[in-house]
Amino acid sequence: MNGVLGTLPAELVGKVVTPDDRRYRLLRSTYTTVGQPAAVVLPESADDVAAALRLARETGLRVAVRSGGHGLSGSGTNDGGLVIDLSALHRVDVLDRGSRLVRVEAGARWAQVAQALAPHGLAISSGDHGNVGVGGIATGGGVGWLVRQYGLTIDRIRAVEVVLPDGTAVRADAETEPDLLWAMRGAGAGAGIALAFEIEAMELRDVGYAQLVVVVDPAGETLRRWADVMARAPRELSTAVMLSSQGATTAAFITAIVASESTSVIRDSVEPLLRIGDVRAQQAHVVPYTELVPPLHLHANTGQMPSSTTNGLLTGMTPDAARALVAASAGPDPVLAQLRSLGGATHDPAASATAFAHRHQNTLVIASAFPPDDRATLAAAWARIAPHTDGAYVNFESAPDEATFARAYPGLAGTRVTDLWKRYDPDGVLRPRPPA
C-alpha cells in the first residue's frame, strides 16, 4: 500500500484507488480541474465515509469531497490529498408518493434522478446538466430549470443524512439537529458530508422548452426588457440567457422552460420574450423533463473544461448593470456571461430560513473565462459588473476566499455559518475552513 496512506482501515480495503490503479485516471479530476490526489476513496456506506475521515486525520491529508465532479470550483479534487468520491452512493427511492417525498443519495447525478422519478410523474429542480452531482447542489443552493416554480433545491430538502467530520453519522431534520439542517441547506461544505437527502419533489412530466436568439443593443436595453418580462412572468417560466458577441453584434441565446404541459400556458408565458428585441431565431416544443437533464450528459470528468468563474446577484437590472454586462461579453477580451432568472418561488422563504440568504434578488449573473489568460480576463471583466451585484452563489465560484464568503453569506448568515462550521468541524477537517 502507498506509504502516504499507511495501513488501511478494514472498511476501506478494496475501496481505495491510488495512482498505480488503472481507474485513477478517470477518478482523479473534476470537470474543470485535473487533480493529483494521493488516493481516491470510493465509500459504500456511512461507516466507509467515517473510516475515510479517520484515515485523513491519521495521515494529515487534506480532504476533498466529490458527489458528481461537475462543480466549477474544482473542489472535488486536490493535489496530494484524499478525495472522498460518493459515486457508489446513488440510490433514488420514492418514500411516499402521496407527499412526493423522495430519498436521493448524494452520489447520484441529476440525469439518474430524473430518470428514476419520471415513471412516478415527479421531478426536482436541480441544475441544468445531467452530469451534475446531487451532493454539491443540494448543499449549496440549486438553481435549476424549474427554479421560479419550485424554488432552490435546498428549499425542498426536509432531512439530510450526514457524516460529521468526527465520523458520527446523524440525521438532520427540523426536529433533530435543526442547526445542522440549516447549515446543510446552503453551506454544507464546511459542516459535514451529506450522504442522502429527503426531498419534496413536484408533480411534473412534460415541460415547455423554447429557445430564442435575440440581438442585444450596446446599451443593454434588451437585457432590461428581459428582466422586466421576468419580473412580471408567471412562476411557471424560468429562463437562462447566454451572451455571445461576434464583431460588433451581441446576441442573447435564451432558453425558456415552462413548468407546464399546457400549450396555452406555454404560449402565454413565452410570448412576452418575443417582444424584448430583434428576434433572429425561435423554436418551442413540449418535451419530457428528462430531456433537459438526459443520460447523454453522463460522462467521466477528466478536467476537460478548464476555466475561471465567478458570479453575483442582481436585485434589479439597472441601465449601468445592463451596459456592464454587454461590455464584459463584447470587449476585446470577452467573458462568457450567463444570466439565470430568480424570483418566483425563490423569494418565498425568509432570508434566515436557510444558509442561502439571498431571497430578494432577481437575477444570477455568472461570468467565465478560459485559458490561457482566464484569471486576468475574468478579473478585468468582472470589475465592471461587480459594483452592481448584491451577494453571490457559492456553487459558481472558482476561487473561493474570504471575500467570496462574505458575499455568499452576508451579515448574520455569515456569522451563523462560521459558528456552525466551527461547532461541527472544529479541527477544520473539511474545506472550506471558516474565515478567521
Cell of 428: 477544520
CA distance 163 to 169: 4
- Tell me how long the chain is: 436
pLDDT, mean of residues 244-251: 90
pLDDT band at residue 246 under the 50/70/90 scheme: confident
What does the pLDDT read at residue 435? 43
Query: Beta-strand (E) ranges in 259-415?
Result: 279-288, 308-314, 336-341, 363-369
Three-state DSSP at 225 gives helix
Residue 436 scores a pLDDT above 60: no
pLDDT tens digits along 395-414: 999 999 999 999 999 999 99
pLDDT tens digits along 201-217: 999 999 999 999 999 99
What does the pLDDT read at residue 53? 97
Q: What angle do CA 19, 91, 38 make, to 5 degrees?
A: 15
Whether the CB-CB separation of 6 and 59 falls below 8 Å is answered with: yes
Cell of 105: 443519495
Residue 36 scores a pLDDT above 90: yes
- Nearest Cα neighbor of 244 from 214, 222, 209 is 214
pTM value is 0.96
pLDDT band at residue 347 under the 50/70/90 scheme: very high
pLDDT tens digits along 271-311: 999 999 999 999 999 999 999 999 999 999 999 999 999 99
Residue 431 scores a pLDDT above 80: no
DSSP class of residue 189 equals G
In the chain, what are the domains? 10-85 (3.30.43.10), 92-204 (3.30.465.10), 206-288+307-405 (3.40.462.20)
Q: What is the largest CA-CA distance in the chain?
A: 66
Three-state DSSP at 344 gives helix
Please count the other Cβ atoms lying within 10 Å of the Cβ belonging to residue 249.
Answer: 12
**Percent of the chain whose pLDDT exceeds 70:** 98
- Nearest Cα neighbor of 64 from 46, 38, 96, 25 is 38
Residue 110 scores a pLDDT above 60: yes
CA distance 75 to 237: 32
pLDDT tens digits along 39-95: 999 999 999 999 999 999 999 999 999 999 898 888 999 999 999 999 999 999 999
